[in-house]
């Protein structure tokens, strides 16, 4: 567990978290954008694996995926809640 004391590990983990947060901030997501985001995320996780081993890479990958999924779900819920009143009154 000595990787927890390495600043490079925390920088790579923060990069993976930031990259996984990108889809939740975008209005429209195209195939090229998703491919480039996934490529950047895999690069950050691969660098973690190469520098610190498999366990740190798996930990940062799982944590960043969970974080990205929670943010994406929150943004979808927020956008749905914002558009609900508009849709309800437009259909009458």
Range of the structural domain that residue 11 is part of: 7-22+30-80
Query: What pLDDT digit, counting tens, does each position of 19-43 carry?
Result: 999 988 887 788 899 999 999 999 9
The CB density around residue 47, as the number of other CB atoms within 10 Å, is 16
Cut 0.85: pTM above it: no
Report d(CA 78, CA 2) in Å as an integer.
40
Give a yes or no: residue 40 inside a domain. yes
- For the chain, how many structural domains are there in total? 1
Indicate whether 91 belongs to any domain.
no
What's the pLDDT at 40? 95
Among 18-22, 56-60, 69-73, 81-85, the least confident range: 81-85
Within-domain flag for 15: yes
Asked whether residue 1 is domain-assigned, the answer is no
Q: Give me the helix-helix angle, 7-25 and 31-52, nearest 10°.
A: 170
Report whether 9 contacts 58 (CB < 8 A). Answer: no
């Amino acid at each position: 567990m000595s990787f927890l004391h390495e600043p490079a590990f925390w920088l790579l983990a923060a990069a993976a978290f930031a990259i996984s947060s990108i889809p939740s901030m975008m209005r429209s997501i195209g195939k090229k954008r998703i491919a480039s985001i996934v490529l950047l995320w895999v690069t950050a996780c691969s660098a973690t694996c190469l520098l610190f081993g498999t366990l740190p890479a798996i930990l940062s990958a799982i944590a960043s995926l969970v974080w990205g999924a929670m943010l994406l779900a929150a943004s979808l819920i927020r956008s749905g809640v914002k558009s609900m009143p508009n849709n309800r009154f437009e259909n009458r």
